Structures are given as structure tokens and as C-alpha cells.
Structure 1
Amino acid sequence: MAKLQMSLKARALKYLSTREHSRLELGRKLSRYAQESDDVEALLDWLEASKFLSQTRFSESLVHRRASRFGNTRILSELQTHGIAGEALSDIKATLSQDEASRATEVWRKRFKQPPVDAAERAKQMRFLQQRGFSHSAIQTAIRRAEADEDPS
């Protein structure tokens, strides 16, 4: 018995039911299954008009998923690869900047638990946070907080 072919619209709704997608990402996924008569852009427009697809919701979802593990640079870079730009990106950047140092401190605590004992260890810890996309000032603040918490005086 032949398996029924899922329509492009049904496939899009299936993807969106699992998590939020950016327009660019969903377009890429759907284009693999599009027939010659299918208009992916028209479907994406309809999904946006029907509020099934939202760049704002996608951005908020991605920031929520990534903020506890990554810094502003990494999150903003990922948003740009998903086609988020302009005013939306600058709003997210402003929001993320407010608590980057505290997020860096939490990421540091989960990974290292004790402050660096020498310059090599300090460099290793700073590189770790830098690879996670935290700014230099947030890294400095996180390391200083860790050393201040450990200082018994």
C-alpha cells in the first residue's frame, strides 16, 4: 500500500507544532518537499498572516533557549543566520545586554566552581567564556565575582 504524501501546508504546520521556526529556516525545510506547482513563499506569507509563523516569537524562543548557556555575541550571530535583522535585532541586543554579566557568572559557576589559582587557569576560564560568546567586560565581571566570593577576608 502506497504511503500518502503529506501536503506542503500540513508539513509546515507539523514543523511549527514542534517548535518556533524562522521564515528562512522553514522555507529551507519546505523547499525540499515542494513540487513544481507549489509556491513556498505564498505559503510562508499565509502562515505569517495567520499568525502561525512569527519572527518575534521565534526570536524570543531562541533567546530563551540559548541565554542560560551563551553570551550575546553567539545569540545575536545565530539570530542573524536565521534572517533576523534591523530593529528586532537591536531590541534583542539591548535586552540581552542588561544581564550578560550575571549570565556569564552562572555559566562560569556551572563549569568551574572555583576561581583560577594562576594565570594559566585564569586564561583557560576566560577562553571558555569567550567561546560561549560573552563580551570581554562580562567575562572580567564574572571572574572578579568568582574571586570575590572565594576571598575569605
Structure 2
Amino acid sequence: MKRKPGDKTTEKPKPSAYSKALGLLARREHSRRELRQKLDRSGYAKDEAGEALDRLGEQQYQDDDRFAEALIRNRSAQGYGPMRLRAELKSHGLADARIRTLLDAADIDWAESAAAQLRRRYGAKGSADPAERARRAQFLLRRGFPAATVRDVTHADVDDATDETL
């Protein structure tokens, strides 16, 4: 006998919000906000999702600090700067003060990271051409490095209006 898509006997029961979130965390770290959004999109009730997230936090399966540390390690290894990391962490619901603390604790030499990105993209040779230096500076600014760091690394004139305090 052929089963029909709408047949109740062929459909698996929906896992609990806790099981769904635990499965997501088994694949990679997630922020609390990210898990909440995924559970909401999957159709779980707000109170069931909230209880599941609270339980996962109590059991230390979900931790925003651990998530942020992993994200900082990953993105900085990919060559992104602190301003880009700050924006991404903020989009995941972390507070500004906590982000600042985590970035400081990461102990990353942002100038060396910016210089490594320049070497990777443009080679080891510097440029005397002001237009080329400006192009390189824009590349680093797009990757999230502060204007002061970009200026030091590229020796280009960069507007400080794009710089934020770390």
C-alpha cells in the first residue's frame, strides 16, 4: 500500500523545543537570540521555547559568552576586524559592555591582523601610489578594522568619522 503525504501514520511527531534546540547546538554554538528565532520559525510556542532555552542555559549547553568567544576566534582567523565583530555580536543580542570585554579578552593584535590581510590580498609590496593606498585602506575598512589601524598599516589618509571607540 502506498502512503500519502498527508497521512498521519507517515509523519514523525514534532520534537520538543528542547530537543530541537539541543540538536541545533550539537551542530555548532548558537546565541540565545538565534536559537529563539529558529524555534519561533519552527512554530514552537513562546513559553515552551523560553523554558527550553532556560533549561539549556542552566545545563550549560547554551552560553552566549562561549558562543561569542567562538565567533571572535573564527571571524578574526578569517581576517575580520573588531568593528565587524562588534556588529555581528550585537546582531546576536549581546550587550555592548559584554562585547567590549570579550574583544579585549581575545587579546588579538589587530594591526598585525590587518597587515596580514593586506599581504594576503595585495602581496608583500607596499604602494607609493595614493590611489592604490586608498583602495587598500577601503579594503581594510570594509573588513571592519578601525580607521586608526588602517592608517597605520596603509599609510593612507583615512577619515576618522568611520572609527568607533573600542
3-state DSSP of counterpart to 2:62 = coil
Looking at structure 1, the residues matched to 108 and 10 of structure 2 have their Cα atoms a distance apart, in angstroms, of 55
Query: Does structure 1 retain, via aligned residues, the 8 Å contact 2:72–2:103?
Result: no
Query: Structure 2 stretches of 5 or more lacking a match?
Result: 1-8, 156-166
1:119 equivalent among 107, 126, 130: 130
> Alpha-carbon deviation of 1:131?
0.5
Letter in 2 for 1:74: R
Query: Structure 1 stretches of 5 or more lacking a match?
Result: 145-153
Match of 1:135 in 2: 146
Looking at structure 1, the residues matched to 153 and 46 of structure 2 have their Cα atoms a distance apart, in angstroms, of 55
**Number of paired residues?**
144
Match of 2:104 in 1: 94
- TM-score relative to the length of structure 2: 0.79
Relative contact order, higher structure (CA 8 A, sep 6+): 1
Match of 2:38 in 1: 29
Letter in 1 for 2:43: A
Q: Over aligned residue pairs, what C-alpha RMSD do you find?
A: 1.9
Query: Does structure 1 retain, via aligned residues, the 8 Å contact 2:57–2:63?
Result: yes
Runs of 4+ in 1 over 6 A off after TM superposition: none
1:56 aligns with 2:26: no
Larger gyration radius, structure 1 or structure 2 = 2
3-state DSSP of counterpart to 1:101 = helix
